[in-house]
A = this chain, B = another copy of it.
């Protein structure tokens, strides 16, 4: 499984709607509105880099209110949790 942390700057007036729409996307496991320079953090978990791109550069395009994104692709995950069980990828 490939995990990506997507940092998002969003239209202030659409913040909550944007976060909700992101959370409803297949491939997006959790979405957080956050303090600071970025407005939203979306956790994307897919089978491959190509599938991450399909979410970030594909499906996310149908969601209005996103001004800028920066995608951090995970090289490796470190956790005591069984991420594959918690976040099953179709």
Contacts and interface: CB of A to CB of B under 8 A. Distances in A.
Interface string A17-55: 001101100000111111111110100000001101100
A75 B31 contact: no
A79 B5 contact: no
Contact of A38 (B33, B53, B72): B72
A57 B86 CA distance: 28
Q: Which bracket fits the contact residues of A?
A: 35 or more
Interface of A: 2-5, 12-13, 15-16, 19-20, 22-23, 29-39, 41, 49-50, 52-53, 56-57, 60-61, 66, 69-81, 83, 86-87
13 contacts: A12-B60, A15-B57, A23-B79, A29-B81, A30-B79, A35-B73, A41-B74, A49-B74, A53-B75, A53-B76, A57-B75, A81-B86, A81-B87
